[in-house]
Amino acid sequence: MMNALHEPQSVVVLGGTSEIARAIVAELPPSHLRRVVLAGRPSPVLTEAVAETERDLAVRGSSAVVTEVAFDALDTDSHPAVIGALFAEDVDLVILAFGVLGDQEEFETDPAEAVLAARVNYVGAVSAGLLVADQLRRQGHGALVVLSSVAGLRARRSNFVYGSTKAGLDVFAQGLADSLVGSGASVLVVRPGFVRTRMTEGLAEAPLAVSPQQVAQDTLKGLRKGSHTVYSPAAIGAVMAGLRSVPRPLFRKLPI
């Protein structure tokens, strides 16, 4: 259970290879942490993520045990059993971090790929999010961190399929947070801008780009404050507020 300083003892990452989620784990105070589960599709990348996370935590003085669990966002039929097993022990913090960026041009030429992205980013998240929320409600405590994106705040020609999936995820997470009010459990929606990760490697870097470590630090600040929404960096929130007010004919001409 989290202590008075909001330090978790048990953490589950859905999307265990996520660089942002693993950065959040690495930034957690090590003294209280005992259990970390990286859940994702079995692969050498996931196995290596477990080993790297365990090494990183050990360097920081943590004796936490890091394990991997098979989890597939697309296989929603398996979610009840997988998430139920994860909560066989008390869980303080769940990070919902799975998702795909995809390629807008490919989505437009092959709609099946767009549907696949939507199933991962939104349908899978709805399934997992509802199940996690139910478990947290039963516990009477714990937090769910949902990694959203500022891409969901306004559709852009360059990535509107991805943006639409994040828009759906964001609204879902806000409603989920409201459904948990008074239960002892909570949801924090994290809206990063451009993050330097493997997912964005090779793309032109957008203004106000951040590292996974900065997103992690902003996320933990939000958890400590009891925030419902966090922008990373904070300035991107003001930028997006301005962009959302730009008339569509003008917005379409912006080089974004």
Q: What's residue 243's pLDDT?
A: 77
**Given the structure tokens 């030429």, which residue do they identify?**
109
Mean pLDDT across 28-53:
95
**What residues are annotated to the active site?**
162
Q: What's residue 253's pLDDT?
A: 76
Instruction: Write out the two tokens for 36.
Output: 């970390």
- Write down the domain spans for the chain: 10-251
The backbone torsions φ and ψ at residue 191, rounded to the nearest 5 degrees and listed phi first, read -115, 90
Q: Residue 224 above 90 pLDDT?
A: yes
Q: Which of 190, 141, 184, 185 is nearest to 169 (CA)?
A: 190
List beta partners, residue 144.
94, 187
Q: How confident is the model at residue 254 (pLDDT cuts 50, 70, 90)?
A: confident
List beta partners, residue 192.
232
d(Cα 65, Cα 13) in Å, to the nearest integer?
14
- DSSP string covering 55-69, please? HHHHHTT---EEEEE
Q: How confident is the model at residue 1 (pLDDT cuts 50, 70, 90)?
A: low
Q: What's residue 241's pLDDT?
A: 85
Q: What's the topology of domain 10-251?
A: Rossmann fold (3.40.50)
pTM score, two decimals? Answer: 0.93
